[in-house]
Structure 1
Amino acid sequence: MIAFTSTDLAYAVVLGTAFGIGVCLLASLAPRWGAPSLARRIAPYIRDVTDARGLDVAGGAPLTTRAWTPLLRLRLMRLAGGDAVLGQRLRRAGWTIDPARFRVRQLAWALGGLALGGVVVVALVLVGRGSPVLGLLPPVAAVAGVLGYDAWLSRAARARAARIEEELPTVLEFLSLCLSAGEGILDSLRRVSEIGAGELTSELRGVVVAVGTGSPLSESLTRLAAGLEIPALTRSVDQLVAAIDRGAPLAHVLQAQALDAREDAKRTLIERAGRKEIYMLFPLVFLILPLSVLFAVFPGIFMLRLGLG
């Protein structure tokens, strides 16, 4: 009876994986597999039984790569859920991809983590450091890939929201200055969006484009505030929309909102400084203070042990 060691199994995994990849690459180059299917060739000529693009025939045709990719995205969205919440987070982070594409990329990160974990396990087994616990490394790496990509999105959303909050007082003051000079609200928004180069000015540029294509200004501003969900921006937009609807002087409203935004920024800065002070206590309590006590007490203990005290 032949006994296989862990090293032999590791070599088998490496060689089998390489052989499988080679077979798949050769199969993809074969004319029968690489050529478009019969249903895809005749679909443009029978649009009455196909969809608007003439891609899919209603009758169980073999799925090609372009055909099963939307199906895979739909399955991932059903499993993950939260399409509206994820779309809101993508909008807040400024990413131009849709939730389905984000889930597909998240799946790719999971597969990459799984492959990386498998490579690490095989490498450790080949060097003679294998153990049964290493079998948990590939799934843990896959889960870490999924959570890491999601954490990347959350961090990007928080960073962009912070930049917009920092730009808000300056943009509001610039808008009030343009309004005081005699320009209209739309012309002021257009001027700010053309001159500025930040995150908020790019969002205002989208508002100007939406108004130019026929959308009402109040609706475009409300949609902007609802898409970003930043309290200071939402409050300013609500006040601006109310002033536009009631005919109130916009310059004074924007100046008051700019003052409130600066006060919120100062309050946020003070709160952040307070948290940093608490964080600074950790090295003081756990590193500097124990070392100080050690340097103060150790010479006395050493002298007592020597009997010199």
Structure 2
Amino acid sequence: MTPLLGGLLGGALGAGLWLVVVALLDARRTPIAVRVLPYVRDLPRPASLPAPPASSNAFAGVFGPPLQAAGRAVERVMGGSTSVRRRIERAGLEIDVAQFRVEQVVWGLVGFTLAAVPSGLVAATSPERSVPLLVFCGIAFVSGVLLRENRLSAQVAARERQILQEFPTVAELLALAVAAGESPVAALDRVVRRSSGELSAELARVLAHVRTGTPITRAFDEMSARSGLAVVSRFAEGVAVAVERGTPLSDVLHAQAGDVREASRRALIETGARREVLMMVPVVFLVLPTVVVFAFWPGLVGLRLVVP
């Protein structure tokens, strides 16, 4: 047996024993809040508690407790659970902070594995490089954790862009339904059933709250608090004020849709003005040198033919 194979087998045995010990300790030290909380329906589930497994399979049973412990360690190191929870709501994800931390650990382990495989091969031939390679693997783990957080921010930005694109159409549909004589709740129901997208999902959430007894003004106020877009916040506040005070709702919706279209037009013009300089790069560094070569190359060849 070669030393490398012996080291791999020993590492696999040690990792298996470590997983068994951690699972046994976690099963013996289950907090009482985790055992009692599923039976207390009136209290919300704290985000710091581990999420219940989606399916009771062997993989979740073996690797779930270590991943949750690692997620709690990442939470203690990084912090910022309020900001993460806010971004999760803005991204429209059906997870909590604890599940997000577990996903960060998984991304970090993937980065660690991608770095550990070539590093192990290099360390087998050059043992003196083991420490720098181990540091490199640690950096890969941290990079994977941070990459998941950047991915969350990208998901928030993509969802907000989609909401901005959908907003004028949805607002116009609501305005037409209200102008036709329907109530705000009936107009919401019609628009939600006839449309799809992120903004439609938010309105479906508002409609569900209204149907469970929440006043429509309060439901739209909660939508305004959840949203990270000023346009959606103004829309929710405008609808709430119009319903509460009896002002014409269709005029408010038409005006807001027009404002969003005008803002999108201005943003497009500003983006085009900023990209104008970038558009000159291929012209200056690619097209112009080619034109110069084609213009002066025949004359240069002619001079070489004339001058002995």
> What's the TM-score once normalised by structure 1's chain length?
0.75
Instruction: For 1:180, give the aligned amino acid.
Output: A
* Residues 91, 294 of structure 1: alpha-carbon distance in 2 compared, 3 angstrom cutoff: farther
Match of 2:218 in 1: 219
- Asked if the contact 1:110–1:145 (Cα under 8 Å) also holds between the matched residues in 2, the reply is yes
- 1:37 shift after superposition: 9.1
Question: What are the superposed Cα offsets for residues 196-247 of structure 1, whole Å, 9 maximum, x if unpaired?
Answer: 1111111100111111112221221122122121121112222222222221
How far off its partner does 1:262 sit? 1.4
1:59 maps to: none
State how far apart, in whole Å, the 2-side matches of 1:69 and 1:135 are: 21
Residues 189, 204 of structure 1: 8 Å contact kept? yes
CA displacement, residues 274-302 of structure 1 (integer Å, 9 cap, x when unaligned): 33333322333344334545565677778
How far has the Cα of 1:36 moved from its partner? 9.4
| 1:73-100 superposed Cα distances (whole Å, 9 cap, x missing partner) | 4332222111121112112222111122
Distance 1:139 1:219, change over 3 A: same
Matched, 1:196 2:195: yes
Separation in 2, partners of 1:297, 1:15: 69
Q: In the alignment, is residue 266 of structure 1 matched against residue 265 of structure 2?
A: yes
Matches within 5 A, 1:133-148: 137-148=136-147
Residues 179 and 250, structure 2, Cα contact 8 Å, conserved in 1: yes
Give the TM-score normalised by the residue count of structure 2: 0.75
Q: Distance in 2 between matches of 1:278 and 1:53?
A: 62
What residue in structure 1 maps to residue 40 of structure 2? none
**Which deviates the most, 143-152 or 258-267?**
143-152
Cα distance in 2, alignment partners of residues 80 and 138 from structure 1: 19
Q: Among 12, 33, 46, which residue is 1:21 paired with?
A: 12
- Give 3-state SS (helix, strand or coil) of 2:35's partner: coil
Contact 1:239 1:253 in 2 (8 A): yes
**The 10-residue stretch of structure 1 (175-184 or 95-104) with the greater mean CA deviation from structure 2:** 95-104
Q: Measured at CA, do residues 34 and 136 of structure 1 come closer, stay the same or move farther in structure 2, by a change above 3 Å? A: closer
Counterpart of 1:5 in structure 2 is none
Q: Percent identity between the aligned chains? A: 34
Give the structure 2 partner of residue 237 of structure 1: 236
- Summarize the Cα distance change of 1:70–1:265 in structure 2 as closer, same or farther, 3 Å threshold: same
**Matched residues, number:** 281
Q: How does 1:39-58 map to 2 (within 5 A)?
A: 50-51=32-33, 53=35
Give 5+ residue unaligned stretches, structure 2. 38-61
Partner of 2:85: 87
Deviates more, 1:224-233 or 1:132-141: 132-141
Paired AA for residue 228 in structure 2: E
- Counterpart Cα distance in 2 of 1:295 and 1:67: 69
User: 1: CA distance between counterparts of 2:12 and 2:36?
Assistant: 33
Q: How does 1:103-182 map to 2 (within 5 A)?
A: 103-124=101-122, 137-182=136-181
Residue deviations 1:16-54 (CA, integer Å, cap 9, x gap) = 23432145447878xx998899958xx9xxxxx944726
Secondary structure class of the residue paired with 1:143:
helix
Residues 113 and 15 of structure 1, relative CA distance in 2, 3 Å threshold: farther
Match of 2:281, SS state, is helix
> Which residue among 73, 76, 81 is the counterpart of 2:74?
76
Distance of aligned partners of 1:94 and 1:126 in 2 relative to their CA distance in 1, 3 Å threshold: same
Structure 2 distance, partners of 1:65, 1:125, is 28
Paired amino acid for 1:92: R
Deviation at 1:139, TM superposition (A): 3.1
What is the identity, as a one-letter code, of the residue corresponding to 2:110? G
Which structure would you say has the larger Rg? Answer: 1
Who is 1:58 aligned against? none
Superposition deviation, residue 182 in structure 1: 0.8
1:262, 1:154 → 2: CA distance? Answer: 25
In structure 2, C-alpha distance between the alignment counterparts of 1:272 and 1:288, rounded to whole Å: 24
> Would the aligned equivalents of 2:110 and 2:141 in 1 still touch at CA under 8 Å?
yes
Shift of 1:148: 2.3
